[in-house]
Amino acid sequence: MKHKFIVILTFLLLCSLLMAGCSSKETSKKTTADVKPIVTDPDTFPIVKDKVTLTVLIPSNSLVKDFNTNDFTKWYEKKTGVHVKWEIIPEDGAAEKLNLMLASGDLPDVIMHMPVTKSQLMVYGKKGVFQSLNNLIDKYGLRPRKCLMMSLALKMQ
């Protein structure tokens, strides 16, 4: 259970860094000097300067009574400054729902615990729908990188 918590936390932190650092639907003519970063320095909390909202697609889980009000969600939002808007779908049919969302381009910011196939990773990775987090982890993910290393070490035991 503790391992699962660490993995979930790591994933959300990484995704929030990605989305916080890359999300903007407005075009701007400001110069680089005028643009203020929205993320804080690595290894500091909260991880964003102003509150941001991420939409997370996740299959329902009978172990979680309410994703919006559970202790982890409350802690995560308070700690990071990132509000999570949960888009919860029934576990049965999750693959079909994901396929429809990918085909339509109507996607959330984060896809979590969904049955993404290798072929989907290839196809949608080439289109830029799925993006590598390696550089962002290296730049911002001091704690998540430690958690990933611990997770890998545990798997090797």
What ranges do the domains of the chain cover?
2-24+31-156
Instruction: Count each helix (H run) and each strand (E run) in the chain, helices first.
Output: 6, 3
Question: pLDDT tens for residues 38-80?
Answer: 666 666 677 788 888 999 999 999 899 999 999 999 998 998 8
Q: Could you tell me if 92 and 59 are in contact, meaning their C-beta atoms sit under 8 angstroms apart?
A: no
pTM, two decimal places: 0.64
Question: pLDDT tens for residues 16-38?
Answer: 544 444 444 444 444 444 445 56
CA torsion through residues 130, 105, 10, 80, sign = positive
